[in-house]
Structure 1
Amino acid sequence: MPRFSLIVPCFQVQGFLRECLDSVLSQSFGDFELIAVDDRSPDGCGAILDEYAARDPRVRALHLPENVGLGRARNAGMPHATGDYLFFLDSDDTLTPGALRAVADRLTEAADPDVLVFDYARTYWWGGTRRNVLAEVLAEAGPDTFTVDTYPRILDLLMVVWNKVYRREFVESEGFAFPPGYYEDTPWTFPVLLSARRIAALDRICLNYRQRRQGSILSTTSRKHFDILDQYERVFAFVEQRPELAHWRPYLHRKMGEHCLDILAKPDRLPPADKAEFFRRTATMFRAHKPADALVDS
């Protein structure tokens, strides 16, 4: 079996897709499979995927019969994965040269942890590049594996799926899957990190996170941003089912409040007419999940 299964969901990214695929196929480390999922994209994504699959046997193109959204497109790719590790790469982002070799070497050094977290850089439409501002979190993690209990600072990093690789057997044994809706990374990343028995860090930029001038889902003004409330309900439900994680409830309660208020504060997220409703629903959920000893009024 290959070392990595890269799962790349594709929807309306024909202008970026070739650069993404080329960044993978040009890696010096070649022991991988690339499972590209055409999420019923109305542009030329499907044809591009078929072209790459025809010329490189490591590429497999899946064409979904209907559009299901980013999270469920990733789910559609997972049953086809045979690699030791799952790597979810968004189709407008790119790997840096040598990234897979560096990740593979670190996995070997760490004796195959459940999760490996690596660094990234934001690349902007105007040509600028900026490294993750919390890069020191990875540097300070050290060479040994850890859990969120022994190194909780790992949770300070962006709660996204694409700055990590995941041992496939760990994911399958825990039954992790992506829910529908916006912010689908939240109810994946928290449960995965809270459940992992061995996490390792790699202090190296392995991915370029594209910052588009326009067209990003999360920068689109829409009521779909209310989805964040359902996603945190899924996180709390996960913790509720696992008493050993109960001590994380105060942290998650605070994180939920901060995240929702951040969405509310951004001018391009919620329609102005919906902001009051979003605040009320956030306050209701904040009270509903308040830990017994939390210093907030009910």
Structure 2
Amino acid sequence: MSLRACILASCDNAPYLADAIASVQAQSLPFEVIVIADDASTDGSRELIRSLAAADRRIVPVLRERRLGPGANRDLAIRDTQADWIVTLDGDDVMAPGKHAAEWAAVAPFAGRAPAIGFSDVALTDAFGAETGRWSLSLHAAMDMAERTGWFARRTAPIPRDMLLPKPLYLQAGGFAHDLPLYEDWDFKLRLSALPAVWRHSGIIGTRYRRQGGGLSDAPPGEHTRWQAAVRARNRDLIAELPA
């Protein structure tokens, strides 16, 4: 059976981290490995991670001594794991109990035959976990590669997050950039969308995406503009090939 890992990346998420980790531990189809990559937190997160790792042999703590940034922290953790398949989660989000099972059921028929990506809908929540909206994402499973890449490039509507994908496909896409403090996820997904792969929707809500403020998304508007432009610049050749 393929070895599957959840890569949970966190930085100063202590108020939410225990819930995030518990949601991964409680999956109806268990992960064989749970990597918790802490990016030099100073809020007590590291003590929590050590304690939980002592009680659950599946947990692999990765405790950075200096802050690397979201892209490098997540990318290095993924590259270091020996898992065949990976799923990501942020340290302030929550994974629905059946997410892993539903996404694995969606991609398993393709395992060993073709690259496949499993993804789910997303529930948006406030800082306290109350639902504020939903992203229905099943249309991405019906798109061909050019349509999907064009959709991702325009960023006019939500795109999948926390997908289940083969590690070799992650590496083929180049992984998360280390030098982007914002939009490193968009940059990666753009490159991923341009690779031949089957995208399969799980049919459920998989992630509860907490918008709690105080994170990189609260950077000044000028910073958002700057790094969006940087992502477009580094993917200009890919974007130029898309149909008008």
- Name the TM-score class by shorter chain: 0.7 to 0.9
Write the letter of the residue equivalent to 2:119: V
Which structure would you say has the larger RCO, counting Cα contacts within 8 Å and 6 or more residues apart? 2
Higher strand share: 2
**Superposition map of 1:72-221 within 5 A:** 72-111=72-111, 113-125=115-127, 128-135=130-137, 137=139, 141=141, 147-149=144-146, 155=152, 157-159=157-159, 162-180=161-179, 181-212=181-212, 214-221=213-220
CA distance in 2, matches of 1:94, 1:231: 27
**Superposition map of 1:9-88 within 5 A:** 9-88=9-88
**Shift of residue 32, structure 1, vs aligned partner:** 2.6
**Secondary structure of the corresponding residue to residue 120 of structure 1:** strand
**Shift of residue 94, structure 1, vs aligned partner:** 0.6
Moved over 4 A (4+): 150-154
CA displacement, residues 52-85 of structure 1 (integer Å, 9 cap, x when unaligned): 1111111011111210111110012012222221
Name stretches of at least 5 consecutive residues in structure 1 with no aligned partner. Answer: 240-244, 251-298
Q: 1:233 to 1:154 in 2, by over 3 A?
A: closer
Name stretches of at least 5 consecutive residues in structure 2 with no aligned partner. Answer: none
**Secondary structure of the corresponding residue to residue 61 of structure 1:** strand
CA displacement, residues 79-134 of structure 1 (integer Å, 9 cap, x when unaligned): 22222211111010010112111111111144464322221110123653145344
Q: Quote the RMSD (CA, aligned, Å).
A: 2.6
**Superposition map of 1:248-267 within 5 A:** 248=242, 250=244
**Which segment is superposed worse, 92-101 or 150-159?**
150-159
CA distance in 2, matches of 1:157, 1:202: 19
CA distance in 1, matches of 2:57, 2:109: 29
Identity %: 19
8 Å contact from structure 1 (residues 74, 178) kept in 2:
no
Write the letter of the residue equivalent to 1:148: M
Rg (Cα) greater in structure: 1
CA distance in 2, matches of 1:31, 1:9: 16
**Secondary structure of the corresponding residue to residue 40 of structure 1:** coil
Paired residues in the alignment total: 237
**Shift of residue 165, structure 1, vs aligned partner:** 1.8
